[in-house]
Amino acid sequence: MSADHTSSVISARVRHVEALLEGRGLLDEGEIDGRIDEFLAGGSPANGARITARAWVDPGFRERLLADANTAIREVGLSMAGGLQEQRLKVVANTAEEHNVVVCTLCSCYPIALLGPSPGWYKSEAYRSRVVRDPRGVLREFGLELPERTRISVWDASAESRYMVVPRRPEGTEDLSEEQLAALVTRKGLIGTAAV
């Protein structure tokens, strides 16, 4: 096989299946490529930060987000549609009693639309295996030291379901606007490997 992916056996098979779906009227010509391009173009940690900031300032939105994230994120103009089917999004919120962290133990499933491309460490076998066995130790390596009384919940993403963490709102931010609050949120905070 050559390095030219347009001539690879797998690419040829994908093009064949795509042509069959188009021929049967199940897909418009170029629909898959268009959806993938849309999905990747809009993916950014700023999206997750906007969702978090809204949850911090709007208790009703926070409640809807935690109950049905896919529906709630549409309120801020976002979605988890990124292919032929919308991925299920579950949002979990950190509290003084519980800290959440996300992993995909099988591969690197991740809400790209809300957090942008996944960081290299998220895909690493070391992170994927260790965060389940020793979440407190892994978080410590990221510089996040949690009180012993804080329970740590590890959420395992899959091909069907993605997770995002709403970090705790930092103290002393009561006077900040939603936009200013969003600027405080990091991708690591949305995964749970940082406080914010």
Residues marked as catalytic: 104, 107-109
**Known binding-site residue numbers:** 104, 107-109
Distance CA 61, CA 72 (A): 7
DSSP for 114-174 reads HH-SPPHHHHSHHHHHHHHH-HHHHHHHTT----TTSEEEEEE--SSEEEEEEPPPPTT-T
**Known binding-site residue numbers for Fe(3+):** 104, 107-109
Distance CA 86, CA 75 (A): 16
